[in-house]
A and B are shown apart, each in its own frame.
Chain A
Amino acid sequence: MLSILKTLWLILLHTFRRRETVLYPEEKRRIPPRWRGRIILSRSPDGKERCVACYLCSVACPVSCISLQAAEDEYGRRYPEFFRINFSRCIFCGFCEEACPTLAIQLTTDFEMSEYVRMNLVYEKEDLLIDGPGKYPDYDFYRISGLAVKGKGKGEGDEELPPVDVRTLMP
């Protein structure tokens, strides 16, 4: 009995405290930049799709809500033919972002994605791909990888020697 009264009293006291509740959505909270919200696919500094369709995000995803299909352009650059995230399943854990070796997939500060129809939460590549590099302005996987792509031949990447001349006899 006593404890109930005590509880009531405490709650009454709260009435006079400063309010934490904000009148969302009229008033927005400041979201820290590392917030794990709506997932996007970013582009490398030269504006090309960053994702190389390595399947690591999809295998890291604990609810298996990412699926994609790898493809390759005529110059050997890999990209996802389709890339789908089922946000009705996503738990915004950020594992995909951690797994991504190219910094392509990133979680953003946007969490306002309620829908009446679950199907509308299925995002395809067109819905995910943004125009910029997102949180990482400089990283370009293909500068570091050994693969030749359009505009970067063998030995032209960062920290690479020119291709070996197999026919040379020089020591």
Chain B
Amino acid sequence: MTTASIHIDGNAYSVTAGQSLLRACLSLGFNVPYFCWHPALESVGACRQCAVKLYRDEKDTRGRIAMSCMTPVTDGMIVSIEDPDVRKFRARNIEWLMLNHPHDCPVCDEGGECHLQDMTVMTGHTYRRTRFRKRTYRNQDLGPFVNHEMNRCIQCYRCVRFYRDYAHGRDLDVFGIHDSVYFGRHEDGVLQNIFAGNLVEICPTGVFTDKTGKRHFVRKWDLQTAPSVCVHCGLGCNIIPGERGGELRRIRNRFNGSVNGYFLCDRGRYGYEFVNSPSRVRQPLRRDGRGEHHKPLRSEEARALFADILSRKGRVVGVGSPRASLEANFALRALVGPEHFFAGMADTELALIQRQIDIMKIGPVPAIPLGKVATCDAVLVLGEDVTNTAPILALNILQACRNAPMARADALHIPRWEDRAAREAAQQVKGPFFLITAHDTWLDESAELVFKGTPDDIARLGFVVAHFLDEDCPSVAGMDGDRTDIARTIARSLGQARDPLIISGPGTGSGYVIDAAANIAWALRKNNRNARLSFTVPECNSLGLAFMASQAVDSALAAVERGAADTLVILENDLFRRTDKDRIIACLNACKHVVLLDHLMHGTASLADLVLPVGTFAETTGTLVSSEGRAQRFFQVYAPQGDIRPSWQWMRDAMTVRGTLRGASWRYLDDIIAAIAGEFPELQPVIDSAPPGAFRIKGLKVPRETHRVSGRTSIHADTTVHEPKPPDDPDSPFAFSMEGYGGKPPSSLIPRFWAPRWNSVQALNKFQSEVGSDLVGGDPGCMVIEPNTGEEPVYRQSIPEVLAPSGSLVPVPLYHIFGSEELSMFSSSVAGRAPCPYVALNPRDASRLGLSNGDEVEIAGRWRGPVVLRAGLPEGIVGVPSGLPGTGAGITGGRVDVTKVTS
């Protein structure tokens, strides 16, 4: 990268040459208005708002007006942003854009954080002079997530560029001609793309707004916010939840250049409603005997009862949770003792995740940060349906696929940021992206090559690829010619790439698949490629929990069955999602006491003797470890009402009552974090993942409320006119107040993006070291896995056998972004998009078994559903949706018979 020296309004600056002038100006902190440019979508020059004046040389006094977003930075450039001509140009341009703009701000959900409002004020356009009538449009119903109000459109084209070019959506487009173009679907209907929610933030106006937020709308300035982390999959995207009046109102993206960048998936954006769900447990509940109803009890009673249960000399085991924080899990581990602590997932799942951790630890290939995936130039996905298990990873893969075809634009000397031209140059050429999965996925059409087979087929093919890359990798006997050719093609392509990426995960339930992925990555690294690995995990803290436990749910139940345990303490977990239903019921009934700490009423909760209400991610502070091994702190957004408390506090208090030394010394969350670091040296970085609770800037806390939050003296006035003191928060550097440090906090503590004159999300520019790159002070989060990159790889040797053909089918879990995740299914908007239980079969298998579409079938004696014929499913496989509410644990491994239910 060469630097260029440019002059802006008489001052010299040194910037990176070749980038767009707009980006350079924004990075330097200038307020150049813009609409169609977006740091992730780059330039098209559609809105004409970013005009600046360029001068030929010092003697040129007239200059010429040019669009800064379409102008590359060159050395010696002379630019004026403040020149009167160009200022006038920008004001007139806004006036044009506003000719037909409706008089809507008061009833527009964008108002107060509207980029169009900001830019209008910035350019100084104030008065509508035109006397003509306004153009109007009809709106469309776009489904439960996104609201459409087309009158507000300024034709910047950002929406379609994001939806179609970036997220590969099909069903949103621009229609119509001349001055009446229309951005929408060809007809009313649910937007199909799983990243559609990003339109809310991409659209600089109020055309696309958050439909769930509309039900309980408040303006940005009234939201109480804190930095947080998405809990709806293992990727750990950074989010900004907003609360008002004890209700969580919305989720917005929190930029983290190393993780999610600018975007969230719709599960992450709309799953939040579980926090407000009527199924929340809000007070302690107990039942006196089996079959009794739960009765509420007071907090103190619950605390005493909990301590009493624990002190009855029972044999207590604790079941942790992959969706609870490290701190909560550690507190439970301390409460019951390490040997009685079990990870709250199936034993097989724990084994798979620990296998992934091993692979990442021993190296030599490190896990890639999610935010860097888009820089890879070849991608192989082995077994995982990333679209549904790690959505933002899928979005980033799509960007990575563009890199190789972009070489054509480079050859033509078209800068990649000239988006339209560069895309035109690359045409529809697909990049080296290979998908080896058990069924058809959404990514299929973007892939250069797709192979489908059983998990064992996938693993075997993976091993062959690895063997082609390095002879030292074990070879696979008995591969047919076709598959060998496929493997050779993939190996060649990966071998030629500069930054190949191998992605896998526990989705198929097969450890072989994970091993095969490791072998490929290691073999590439041995060939001196900058190979990277990425493993997904099912839940937001699966990885963190796997560090703390060596056994899981099945072992815990076995302990109860053996009689080695008679008291179960379950942390934030519905056991029915983990293993066999009858077994769980038998075990829960066999226990003397079952205590559950959770925030939602579910199957396990209804069978627990004592249910303690705990805070969700929005009501507590804690740390999660994402699938790449990044420890990230999420901060409490608001103080919950009633008896809801963080899990760790319930357990700490129980320990204090029992006189366990350790619990008593835990006054603050930081004490637990220190204890975690002491017990697990690998988790030491957790301490540094965010500043401690005692952190102050100039002696001040960081305010959760904005400086212009309203209604402070009346929001509680229906109950009291004596404004109550806001609650204290010793566990974080944040205050439940508008008072505190008003400047920019460290990157891990940014509660919202706002800057003077920039009320919209575009204020983010002011928080980045360079526009579009990392946050000032570095992206938040600390890696807990540092691989030994110098090591020689020790290849995995065991390869699955080819099973003899039989009439039975191999069960494969099918994941659904809307449906397979527990918490988001308590959100009405997400639940509305989930499928009903079904059984997917290849049409040929179905006809062999004499089944047709809609027939009710049973699998393995415990799974029922109507048959859905799916040609994208290979023969020999039966697809069973994973994690749908009420369907219990999935079926993986072995073979099953599908039988018709006749009744």
| Chain A residues with a Cβ under 8 A of chain B | 52-56, 58-59, 61, 63-70, 72, 78, 84-86, 88-89, 101-102, 118-119, 121-122, 124, 141, 144-148, 154-155, 157, 159-164, 166-169, 171
Interchain CB contact under 8 A, A59 and B107: no
B180 beta carbon closer than 8 Å to chain A:
yes
Give the docked Cα–Cα distance between A159 and B99 (Å): 12
Q: Which B residues are in CB contact (< 8 Å) with A164?
A: 135-137, 176, 180, 182
25 A-B residue pairs with Cβ-Cβ distance under 8 Å, sorted by A, are: A52-B106, A55-B222, A59-B708, A64-B712, A65-B714, A67-B710, A67-B715, A69-B245, A84-B715, A86-B714, A86-B717, A122-B717, A146-B102, A146-B103, A146-B152, A147-B107, A159-B133, A160-B136, A162-B136, A163-B137, A166-B137, A166-B180, A167-B175, A167-B176, A171-B178
Measured between alpha carbons, how far is A166 from B137 in the docked complex, in Å? 9
A155 to chain B, nearest CB (A): 4
B448 at interface, CB cutoff 8 A:
no
Across the interface, which residues of A come within 8 angstroms of B245, CB to CB? 69
- Whether A161 lies near B133 (C-beta < 8 A) is yes
The minimal Cβ–Cβ distance linking B110 to chain A, given in whole angstroms, is 12
B136 touches A147 (CB 8 A): no
Besides A67-B710, A78-B107, 8 other A-B contacts (C-beta < 8 A): A64-B709, A64-B713, A66-B711, A72-B214, A88-B721, A161-B134, A166-B176, A166-B180
A89: B residues at CB distance < 8 A: 713-714
Q: Mark B465-501, 1 if CB is under 8 A from A, else 0.
A: 0000000000000000000000000000000000000
State whether the Cβ of B216 lies closer than 8 Å to any Cβ in chain A.
Answer: yes
A169's nearest neighbour on chain B, judged by CB, is: B177
Judged by a CB distance under 8 angstroms, whether B643 is at the interface is no
Complex alpha-carbon distance, A52 and B105, angstroms: 11
Q: A118's closest neighbor in chain B, by CB?
A: B721
Q: In the complex, which residue of chain A has the Cβ closest to the Cβ of B105?
A: A101
Chain B residues with CB under 8 Å of A154's CB are: 136-139, 151
Check if B221 sits within 8 Å of A59, measured CB to CB. yes
Asked whether, in the complex, the Cβ of A161 is within 8 Å of the Cβ of B216, the reply is: no
- Whether a CB of chain A sits under 8 angstroms from the CB of B671 is no
B293 at the interface (CB under 8 A from A): no
Q: Looking at the assembled complex, report how far the CB atom of A11 sits from the nearest CB atom of chain B, in whole angstroms.
A: 41
Q: How far is the CB of A86 from chain B (nearest CB, A)?
A: 4
Residues of A within 8 A of B714 (CB): 64-67, 84-86, 89, 122
Q: How far is the CA of A84 from the CA of B715 in the complex (A)?
A: 8
User: In the complex the two chains form, is A163's CB within 8 Å of B138's CB?
Assistant: yes
B431 contacts partner chain A, Cβ-Cβ < 8 Å: no
Q: Across the interface, which residues of B come within 8 angstroms of A70, CB to CB?
A: 217-218
For residue B180, which residues in chain A have a CB less than 8 angstroms away from its CB? 164, 166
Q: In the complex, what residues of B have CB within 8 A of residue A56's CB?
A: 106
For A149, the closest partner residue in chain B by CB is B107
Q: Which residues of A contact B135 (CB under 8 A)?
A: 161, 164
A66 partner residues in chain B, CB cutoff 8 A:
710-711, 714
Q: A-B pairs with CB below 8 Å: how many?
A: 134
Please name all residues of chain A whose beta carbon is closer than 8 Å to the beta carbon of B152 when the two chains form the complex: 146
Contact among A54, A148, A167 for B111, CB-based, below 8 A: A54
What is the CA–CA distance of A63 and B715 in the complex, to the nearest angstrom?
12
- Minimal beta-carbon separation of B97 from chain A (angstroms): 15
Please tell me if B728 contacts chain A, counting CB pairs below 8 Å. Answer: no
Per-residue CB contact flags for chain B residues 81-118 toward chain A (1 = under 8 Å, else 0) read 00000000000000000000011111100011000000
- Give the CA-CA distance A140 to B216 in the complex, in Å: 25
The number of chain B residues with a CB under 8 A from chain A is 44
**For B583, what are the chain A residues with a Cβ–Cβ distance below 8 Å?**
none
Q: Which of B621-675 contact A (CB under 8 A)?
A: none
**A159:B134 contact, CB within 8 angstroms:** yes
Which residues of A are found within 8 Å of B709, using beta-carbon distances?
64
Given contacts A69-B245, A166-B176, contact A59 B106 (CB under 8 A): no
Whole-angstrom distance from the CB of B712 to the nearest CB of chain A? Answer: 4
B729 at the interface (CB under 8 A from A): no
Give B16-58 interface residues, CB cut-off 8 Å to A: none
Chain B: which residue is nearest A155 at the CB level? B136
Least CB separation from B151: chain A residue: A146
Contact A146 B711 (CB under 8 A): no
Q: Are B107 and A145 in contact (CB under 8 A)?
A: yes
Write the nearest CB–CB distance from A39 to chain B, whole angstroms. Answer: 12
Task: Verify A146–B721 contact, CB threshold 8 A.
Answer: no
- B149 touches A (CB below 8 Å): yes
Docked-complex contact B219 and A59, CB < 8 angstroms: yes
Chain A residues with CB under 8 Å of B175's CB are 166-167
How far does the Cβ of B147 sit from chain A's closest Cβ, in whole Å? 10
Q: How far is the CA of A40 from the CA of B502 in the complex (A)?
A: 65
Task: Return the 3 tightest CB-CB contacts between A and B, nearest first.
Answer: A146-B102, A67-B711, A54-B106
CB <8 Å contact, A55 and B713: no
Q: Are B721 and A119 in contact (CB under 8 A)?
A: yes
**A65, B713: Cβ atoms closer than 8 Å:** yes
CA distance A160 to B138 in the complex (A): 13
Q: Please indicate the chain B residues that have their CB under 8 angstroms from the CB of A78 in the complex.
A: 106-107
Contact A146 B136 (CB under 8 A): yes
- In the complex, whether B582 has a CB less than 8 A from a CB of chain A is no
- Cα A145 to Cα B111 with chains together (Å): 14
The CA-CA distance from A78 to B178 in the complex, in Å, is: 33
Q: Which residues of B contact A159 (CB under 8 A)?
A: 133-134
Q: How far is it, in angstroms, between the C-alpha of A59 and the C-alpha of B759 when the chains are bound?
A: 14
Contact of B134 among A54, A122, A160 (CB under 8 A): A160
Distance (Å) between the CB of A58 and the closest chain B CB?
4
Given known A69-B245, A146-B134, A160-B133, contact A55–B219 (CB-CB < 8 A): yes
| Interface of chain B residues 710 through 728 with chain A (CB within 8 A) | 710-715, 717-718, 720-721
Tell me which of B106, B149, B715 contacts A141 (CB under 8 A). Answer: B106
Known: A70-B218, A146-B104, A161-B136. A86 touches B713 (CB 8 A): yes
Contacts of A118 in B (CB 8 A): 721
Q: Which of B686-722 contact A (CB under 8 A)?
A: 708-715, 717-718, 720-721
Q: Looking across the interface, which residue of chain B has its beta carbon closest to that of A101?
A: B106
Q: How far in angstroms is the closest Cβ of chain B from A143?
A: 10
A101 to B133, CA, bound (A): 21
Query: Do A59 and B222 touch across chains, with their CB atoms under 8 A apart?
Result: yes
Bound form: Cα–Cα A70–B219 in Å: 10
A147 touches B708 (CB 8 A): no
Chain A residues, Cβ within 8 Å of B720: 119
A-side contacts of B137, CB under 8 Å:
154, 163-164, 166
- By beta carbon, the residue of chain B nearest A54 is B106
Q: How far is the CA of A46 from the CA of B221 in the complex (A)?
A: 32
Residues of A within 8 A of B103 (CB): 141, 144-146
Q: Are B717 and A84 in contact (CB under 8 A)?
A: yes
Q: Which of B182, B708, B715, B718 contacts A166 (CB 8 A)?
A: B182
Q: What is the CB-to-nearest-CB distance from A135 to chain B, in angstroms, rounded to a whole number? A: 19
Q: Which of A52, A69, A147 is close to B149, meaning CB atoms less than 8 Å apart?
A: A147
Question: Which residues of chain A come closer than 8 Å to B214, judged between CB atoms?
Answer: 72
